[in-house]
Chain A
């Protein structure tokens, strides 16, 4: 079963626009991570936010975490065609077992 649920399932935007996707989860976590996957191949780690953090930035990425609501959001600013991919949130327990959501498919058109 999936731990998290991403919203929306799909997102289509134009280059230069911002993309926001949300993730909700069910159980307590050690940290939450966001990954990108291109064309059904390997996942690339984007950013990790710990349970005691509320916001984190990395380049054009901004992640927030609200443990009281068991939710997180990923914002990609000034999107590019190369950002076209599937984005997954994953929660990690104390041993590091990752539980993924179903993902958000993002399409950025020039």
Chain B
């Protein structure tokens, strides 16, 4: 079975541009979460979606948005990129309504560099 897949793996963008990151969860998983990991730090929660509805949002500006599609895949959009948005963006999926009581399965991440 395929694990969580993220695309692209690497991305270089210029300040002010926008970016779309994509995530396909494990087949049958309905919950998808996004995390930002800045170099040298632990992942920070950005969004959680379950059954196409937003179930949680972390402390990130409105430049960050996301959605989940009927096939449970998800997109993370970031507008007006700043240098500080450079990070590894991780997507995680889980079979139930959240990761509560179950493990989260992470993709390999998208490395975003803003120049």
Contact = CB atoms under 8 A, between A and B. Distances in A.
Which among A50, A90, A95 has the greatest number of chain B C-beta atoms within 10 A?
A: A95
B contact patch SS: loop
B33 A42 contact: no
Nearest to A43: B106
The interface centre, meaning the residue of B48, B59, B92, B100 with most chain A CB atoms within 10 A of its CB, is B100
B90 A42 contact: yes
A: interface residue count bin: 20 to 34
B106 A44 contact: yes
Interface in A50-104: 50, 88, 90, 92-103
Nearest to B99: A96
Contact of A95 (B42, B88, B92, B100): B100
A45 interface: yes
B92 to A, nearest CB: 8
Nearest to A102: B42
A96 B106 contact: no
Interface string B40-69: 111111001000000110010000000000
Contacts of A43: 43, 90, 92, 106
B42 A97 contact: no
A97 B109 contact: no
